[in-house]
């Protein structure tokens, strides 16, 4: 969660709208103090402007530390520090082939970067004008390694004019410029992207837009000339532009109005604030994920670590999930001979939500069920004891044991469990249900009946950086990149559709009860992109046609229990259009643990990650 250039102080604000942070591009104002005051008065939150007053000569002479420009005392340091994004002279060209231009550019850049540090501005904005920016990248690297105290905003257009100009002899893709540049800078999180919004006549195609959303976009530049005038004479954006802005909203980008027409500037910020209200979708999912965007969590280890009250409470809030379980149990019970009293065992009962679902089935069907609740966490058992006595009126038999060792007095018709993780089998549902199968009748039903994991190639430098940045002192880079994380993906691009990986079905009376798996998957990249890892999803068939899914294309509506899982790569891999991304993936085990290993075969070969589960594994005991 990053700090914004400008941040509204105090209060949670109105949650029914997205708070829009809007800056104004002010080119060389004669009096910066006055200009800032006026811009704030219009309702803007920050100003993008040059630090160097145009009255001062720009001639760079190595020997003369000449006056730089404005004096620092024209604004308070808190104003420099919150309100000003420093725009670097766009004529600077460090990568010029003319030697003296490169040399002069370096002097100017050194000075402007130094002055920006002196003033304490929150961000500096530089523009990429051409494909090759290696010298600029090297310059920036030097600053980043030296400990740059501000962010660097790298400005490119979403679409380069050459893409639609009949005169251009070459078509440029500005994503390539940016990608090469950020690669030079090792994807440093202080480098963000500022995109010039594309013109309605030359819109970004869908896949390119999606790829931009996988980048660390800090701001969108909107020229006033893009606004239409509505029937009330007010500037508004076209539906097409609104659609683009809506897509970027999940990234919490800021907006920069670039005034290229004569107009009342207050109207634009007011309009963007209005869009913050109009375009903001507020549903169960949006509400739930707020603040969790790209936030890394470690997958649970429910077999070795007792879950806590907060976790149980979050689980239990997902009505959609338990409703599906209720329906599955209902159908399963109905499939059993009506003369019989079905024995239903909830294995891993927690604080009892599945037990309650089973009881509801019994009530709705008006049918007697013999219900067992098996739970090993003594603190959850404590709650179950209470519920058995005070809520369930003795209708549930409580078993304080591990389902894998429990010796039941009778066999079950239905086994119900909720051991699924974000990747399906990653909380050892296969091992647990295979273990519990001992006390399932040969004709018995397991809920879930089956589940499948899915993988998709992922581009997200955000996730790549989150992993790097949150490294605990006692872990190596290798360990943290070989560990999977659960995260609500927001700032990402899914390079290609997910493909099915491993499927498990229950009960598993087959001869080979092994839960080891191996599969090789091939994905095609439809455009140049950056592979930073793999996103994992799952779906499950609970019973019959009742299922749950977090696969992006079939996601169960309003279900919030699971975020995707991410398997990272320690170094991002450049992928070109039409290249194949070929991945091998293993699920393997030893006596006391289960783990995954993975490697790439193409576009580059990599070592096998997490070999022997040395960095991450799921413990059985």
Interface residues with a copy of itself (CB under 8 A) are 10-12, 65, 67-69, 71-73, 76-77, 80-81, 111, 114-115, 117-120, 306, 308-310, 312-313, 351, 377-383, 385-387, 400, 471, 473
Pairing assessment for the beta strands 370-374 and 343-347 based on DSSP bridges:
parallel
Strand partners, 586: 518, 597
8 catalytic? Reply is no
Reading the block at residue 375, the tokens are 């739970």
Minimum distance of a copy of itself from residue 10's CB (angstroms): 6
SS3 per-residue string spanning 446-476: EECCEEEEEEEEEECHHHHHHHHHCCCCCCC
How many whole angstroms separate alpha carbon 542 and alpha carbon 506?
Answer: 10
CB of 166 to a copy of itself, least distance (A): 48
Q: What does each C-alpha distance from 34 to 40, 47, 83 come to in angstroms?
A: 10, 12, 13
Q: What is the distance between the alpha carbons of residues 514 and 519, in angstroms, rounded to a whole number?
A: 15
Q: 451: annotated binding-site residue?
A: no
372 a known binding residue?
A: no
Instruction: Give me the helix-helix angle, 174-184 and 134-145, nearest 10°.
Output: 40
Q: Nearer to a copy of itself by C-beta: 353 or 421?
A: 353
Residue 427 annotated as catalytic = yes
Confirm whether residue 312 is marked as ligand binding.
yes
CB of 395 to a copy of itself, least distance (A): 18
Q: How far apart are CA 487 and CA 554, in angstroms?
A: 18
- Is the Cβ of residue 360 or residue 411 nearer to a copy of itself in the bound state? 360
HEC states along 279-317?
A: CCCCCHHHHHHCCCECCCECCCCCCCCCCCHHHHHHHHC
Q: How far is CA 542 from the centre of its chain?
A: 28
Catalytically annotated residue among 215, 427, 482, 589: 427
Spatial CA neighbour of 244 closest among 175, 197, 281, 194: 197
- Distance, in Å, from the CA atom of 163 to the CA atom of 171, rounded to the nearest integer, reads 5
Does 258 show up as a binding residue in the annotation? no
Q: Which is nearer to a copy of itself, 143 or 351 (CB)?
A: 351
Considering the complex, what minimum distance in angstroms separates the CB of residue 43 from a copy of itself? 23
**Residue 307 Cβ vs a copy of itself, minimum distance, rounded to whole Å:** 8
403 is in an annotated binding site: yes
Closer to a copy of itself by CB, 234 or 400: give it: 400
Beta bridge partners of 49: 86
In the complex, the smallest distance separating the C-beta of residue 118 from a copy of itself, rounded to whole angstroms, is 4
Catalytic residue, chosen from 79, 215, 418, 482, is: 418
- Judge whether 99 is annotated as a binding position: no
Closest CA to 410 of 362, 341, 352: 341
User: How many separate helices (H) and strands (E) can be counted in the chain?
Assistant: 16, 26
The binding site for S-adenosyl-L-methionine consists of 312, 321-322, 375, 402-403
Name the residues annotated as catalytic: 418, 427
């Amino acid at each position: 969660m990053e700090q914004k250039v400008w941040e509204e102080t105090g209060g949670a604000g109105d949650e029914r709208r997205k708070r829009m942070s809007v800056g104004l591009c002010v080119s060389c104002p004669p009096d910066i103090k006055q200009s800032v005051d006026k811009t704030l008065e219009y309702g803007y939150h920050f100003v993008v402007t040059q630090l160097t007053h145009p009255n001062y000569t720009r001639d760079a002479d190595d020997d003369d530390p000449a006056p730089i420009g404005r004096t620092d005392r024209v604004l308070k340091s808190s104003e420099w520090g919150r309100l000003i994004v420093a725009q670097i002279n766009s004529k600077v060209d460090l990568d010029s082939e003319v030697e003296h231009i490169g040399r002069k550019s370096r002097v100017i850049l050194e000075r402007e970067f130094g002055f920006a540090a002196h003033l304490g501005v929150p961000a500096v904005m530089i523009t990429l004008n051409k494909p090759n920016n290696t010298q600029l990248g090297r310059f920036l690297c030097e600053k980043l390694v030296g400990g740059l105290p501000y962010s660097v905003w790298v400005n490119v257009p979403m679409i380069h004019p050459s893409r639609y100009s009949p005169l251009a002899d070459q078509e440029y893709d500005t994503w390539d410029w940016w990608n090469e540049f950020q690669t030079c800078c090792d994807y440093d999180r202080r480098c963000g992207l500022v995109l010039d919004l594309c013109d309605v006549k030359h819109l970004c195609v869908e896949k390119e837009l999606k790829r931009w959303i996988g980048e660390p976009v800090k701001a969108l530049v909107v020229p006033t000339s893009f606004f239409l005038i509505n029937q009330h004479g007010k500037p508004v954006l076209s539906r097409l532009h609104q659609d683009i802005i809506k897509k970027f909203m999940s990234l919490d980008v800021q907006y920069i109005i670039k005034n290229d027409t004569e107009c009342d500037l207050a109207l634009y910020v007011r309009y963007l604030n209005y869009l913050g209200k109009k375009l903001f979708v507020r549903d169960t999912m949006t509400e739930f994920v707020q603040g969790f965007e790209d936030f890394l969590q470690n997958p649970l280890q429910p077999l070795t670590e007792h879950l806590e009250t907060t976790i149980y409470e979050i689980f239990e809030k997902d009505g959609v999930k338990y409703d599906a379980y209720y329906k599955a149990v209902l159908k399963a019970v109905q499939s059993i001979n009506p003369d019989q009293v079905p024995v239903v065992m909830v294995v891993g009962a927690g604080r009892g939500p599945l037990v309650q679902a089973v009881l509801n089935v019994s009530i709705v069907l008006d049918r007697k069920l013999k219900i067992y609740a098996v739970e090993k966490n003594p603190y959850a058992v404590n709650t179950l004891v209470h519920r058995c006595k005070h809520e369930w009126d003795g209708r549930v038999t409580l078993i304080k044991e591990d389902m894998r060792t429990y010796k039941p007095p009778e066999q079950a018709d239905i086994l119900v469990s909720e051991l699924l993780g974000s990747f399906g089998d990653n909380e050892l549902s296969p091992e647990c249900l295979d273990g519990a199968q001992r006390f399932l009748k040969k004709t018995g039903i397991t809920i879930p009946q089956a589940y499948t994991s899915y993988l998709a190639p992922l581009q997200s430098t955000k996730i790549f950086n989150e992993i790097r940045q949150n490294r605990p002192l006692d872990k190596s880079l290798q360990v943290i990149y070989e560990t999977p994380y659960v995260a609500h993906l927001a700032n990402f691009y899914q390079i290609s559709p997910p493909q099915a990986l491993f499927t498990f079905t229950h009960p598993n009376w087959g001869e080979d009860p092994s839960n080891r798996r191996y599969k090789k998957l091939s994905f095609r990249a439809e455009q140049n992109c950056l592979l930073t890892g793999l996103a994992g999803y799952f779906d499950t068939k609970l019973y019959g046609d009742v299922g749950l899914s977090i696969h992006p294309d079939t996601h169960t509506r309003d279900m919030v229990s699971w975020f995707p899982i991410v398997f990272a790569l320690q170094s991002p891999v450049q992928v070109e259009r039409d290249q194949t991304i070929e991945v091998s993936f293993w699920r393997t085990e030893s006596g006391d643990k289960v783990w995954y290993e993975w490697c790439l075969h193409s576009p580059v070969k990599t070592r096998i990650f997490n070999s022997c589960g040395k960095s991450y594994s799921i413990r059985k005991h």
